[in-house]
Amino acid sequence: MVHAAILTLDECYASSAGGFADILQVANAHLRRQQGAAAVQFAWRFVSLAGKPVTASNGLQLQTHALAPHERYDLVFIPSLHYGGRRRFEQILDRQAGACAWLLAQWQAGAWIAANCTGTFILAQTGLLDGRTATTTWWLERQFRARYPDVDLQLRPVITESDRMLCAGASASYLLQAIRIVERFAGQAIAAQTAKSLLIDVSQTSQVPYLPLLAERMHSDSLVQRAQHWLQSNMTRELRISELAAALATSERTLIRRFRAALDQAPLAYVQDLRLEAARALLETGDQGIDAIAGQVGYRDTSSFSRLFRQRIGMSPGAYRNRFQVNSAP
């Protein structure tokens, strides 16, 4: 048996914890069919520090086994946790000293550890990710970097692997993560059969098409706020930084300095992101041609627009439409 432990914490997502086990169960069915009853299969337990019932974020009660100090597993999975605000989330993290010590011992004994979405924070809390590559859900990037500055956080890949540790992006990426685990322990053929059985698209290897270009950044700089409003109203025009500075009655140097301090980018880069986000919305909801969309968001040269779109979004405008267009047909 490949012995797996699913570390079940209060406020975890039941879909992440239970779904991971479901995929192992389907893999077992393929293993038995291909290799017979004697096949090496997955066995799992839902575990917690005290071994008491755990309440998932949706209110579901999950029965668990207590963590046994000397019991060793081949694999440990940390499901994603519900994020109820920064303060509450960090309080949850600060209560995990016992779980972190157990995770460290499991890894040192040779176990693989897979952390999903916000579960990556738990793994980072052990110190094991310091100096190693990891990923997590994109919208908690700044909080993760602030709390764990020694981790090499990468948001482009859906899954990262480093020294027997697999980290994955936003919660639903546990599907891809579980398939990767099945491949690691049972081989590529069983992993492919499992993915096909469950309609899991294993071609999704990048988070880039899902990442917003305009991350919300709270600031109180009134000059920058006025600049943002002006740029949003004029983004389809050919813009010069001198024109923006004149409209705001300030110098170009002051404008650029304060814009960078508030939003960590230059004003014209902000305009570029505005245009691309507008193009995304048009591709998702409309049926205009690429030429028309490029012109509508402020680009006269379609080839330049397409090249920039691919560079920033990770795929061509046409491919993006094929994947994300909302079907309005009844």
Whether residues 306 and 198 share a domain: the answer is no
Q: For residue 276, is it within any domain?
A: yes
Task: Check pLDDT > 80 for residue 327.
Answer: no
Whether residues 177 and 112 share a domain: the answer is yes
Whether residues 110 and 251 share a domain: the answer is no
| pLDDT tens-digit series, residues 63-109 | 999 998 889 999 999 999 999 999 999 999 999 999 999 999 999 99
| pLDDT tens-digit series, residues 194-251 | 999 999 999 888 888 888 887 667 789 999 999 999 999 999 988 999 999 999 999 9
Range of the domain at 309: 222-324
Taking a C-beta distance cutoff of 8 angstroms, is the pair 75, 185 a contact?
yes
Whether residues 254 and 129 share a domain: the answer is no
Whether residues 264 and 147 share a domain: the answer is no
Whether residues 190 and 294 share a domain: the answer is no
Task: Check pLDDT > 60 for residue 164.
Answer: yes
**Which of the listed residues 187, 210, 233 is the one where a domain comes to its end?**
210
Q: Residue 286: its pLDDT value, please?
A: 86
Residue 218 Cα to chain centre, angstroms: 21
Distance CA 72, CA 107 (A): 9
SS3 letters for the chain?
A: CEEEEEECCCCECHHHHHHHHHHHHHHHHHHHHHHCCCCCCEEEEEEECCCCCEECCCCCEECCEECCCCCCCCEEEECCECCCCHHHHHHHHHCCHHHHHHHHHHHHCCCEEEEECCHHHHHHHCCCCECCEECCCHHHHHHHHHHCCCEEECCCECEEEECCEEEECCHHHHHHHHHHHHHHHHCHHHHHHHHHHCCCCCCCCECHHHCCCCCCCCCCCHHHHHHHHHHHHHCCCCCCHHHHHHHCCCCHHHHHHHHHHHHCCCHHHHHHHHHHHHHHHHHHHCCCCHHHHHHHCCCCCHHHHHHHHHHHHCCCHHHHHHHHCCCCCC
Whether residues 175 and 296 share a domain: the answer is no
Q: What average pLDDT does the chain have?
A: 94
Residue 90 CB contacts under 8 Å (≥ 6 apart), including other chains: 147
pTM, two decimal places: 0.82
Whether residues 145 and 181 share a domain: the answer is yes
Q: Residue 218: its pLDDT value, please?
A: 79
Of all residues in the chain, the percent with pLDDT exceeding 70 is: 98
Whether residues 188 and 238 share a domain: the answer is no
Q: For residue 330, is it within any domain?
A: no
Q: Which CATH number covers residue 280?
A: 1.10.10.60
The band of 330, judged by pLDDT with boundaries at 50, 70 and 90, is very low
| pLDDT tens-digit series, residues 18-71 | 999 999 999 999 999 999 988 999 999 999 999 999 999 999 999 999 998 889
Task: Check pLDDT > 50 for residue 257.
Answer: yes
Q: For residue 64, is it within any domain?
A: yes
Mean pLDDT of 288-300: 94
Task: Check pLDDT > 70 for residue 127.
Answer: yes
Residue 151 CB contacts under 8 Å (≥ 6 apart), including other chains: 124, 129, 130, 131, 132, 134, 144, 145
Q: Residue 37: its pLDDT value, please?
A: 84
Distance CA 172, CA 111 (A): 23
Taking a C-beta distance cutoff of 8 angstroms, is the pair 50, 66 a contact?
yes
- Tally of domains in the chain: 2
Q: For residue 24, is it within any domain?
A: yes
Whether residues 200 and 228 share a domain: the answer is no
Q: Residue 329: its pLDDT value, please?
A: 46
Q: For residue 87, is it within any domain?
A: yes
Identity of the residue numbered 27: A
**Which of the listed residues 159, 182, 210 is the one where a domain comes to its end?**
210
Task: Check pLDDT > 60 for residue 328.
Answer: no
Specify the residue for token string 């920058």: 224
Q: Which CATH number covers residue 52?
A: 3.40.50.880
Whether residues 157 and 47 share a domain: the answer is yes
| pLDDT tens-digit series, residues 166-199 | 999 999 999 999 999 999 999 999 999 999 999 9
